[in-house]
Amino acid sequence: MTDHARIPARLIADYSRRLRWSLQALPAEDRAGIVREIESHLTDSLTAGPETLEDSLSALGAPHALAARYVQEYRLTGALGEDHPVALVQAILVRSGRSAAAFAALLIAMLLYLFALCFAGVAIFKPLFPSHVGLWSLPQGSAFGILTDPPAAPEMMGLWVMPVAAAAALACYALASLVLRGTGRHLLRQVSAR
């Protein structure tokens, strides 16, 4: 093999080595499969000519940037399979800087989780502080929630506020989880389409 022929082979080997190192967050089997796939693609490009190899390397981008995309996809896929939303929030948070849809969905989901927490607080604190928690009808509008200085008007729902607030908390939690899962699946479809 001439020195001129070794240079492209060294480029492929160097790219593969740097990619393998950048994929350390993935399991060894997945990491090896990705590197084999990229090496095969680059080797096929080389057989078409050195210019084609350069075009392929340029299209793939830096090894660490390519690895970051694989790692994000892996984490997002894993988060979709989990029952709790924390991993999914983290995976979508990483994408929210590059995707307006991911940012909007994350914002909506976080607001819904906050509402769920507030409704759960109403359901929990009603038996502990019955005169400070509830729904009041006032001349200037309604007041709902946990109030430090409740109005003199009678509270309208009594203990019924507990099951209503608990149901609202569960509904907000479920809706937030649906928004996150739908966004996660949408982001994975975008990656697959590339």
Mean pLDDT of 81-104: 83
For 114-166, the pLDDT digits (tens) are: 999 999 999 999 999 999 999 988 888 888 889 888 888 888 888 899 999 99
Whole-number pLDDT of residue 187: 84
pTM over 0.85: no
Give the pLDDT band (50/70/90) at residue 69: confident
Whole-number pLDDT of residue 169: 97
Mean pLDDT of 169-188: 92
* HSE, side-chain direction, 13 A CA sphere, residue 104: 5
Give the pLDDT band (50/70/90) at residue 3: very low
Q: In this structure, what is the dihedral angle of CA atoms 168, 169, 172, 176, given to the nearest 10 degrees?
A: -170
- Reduced to 3 states (helix: H, G, I; strand: E, B; else coil), residue 184 is helix
Whole-number pLDDT of residue 191: 67
Task: Evaluate whether 115 touches 172 at the Cβ level (below 8 Å).
Answer: yes
Please choose, from the candidates 105, 19, 94, the residue with its C-alpha nearest in 3D space to the C-alpha of residue 61: 19
Q: Which of 47-61, 62-76, 77-91, 123-137 has the highest mean pLDDT?
A: 123-137
Give the pLDDT band (50/70/90) at residue 193: low
Residue with tokens 């995976």: 91
Whole-number pLDDT of residue 186: 86
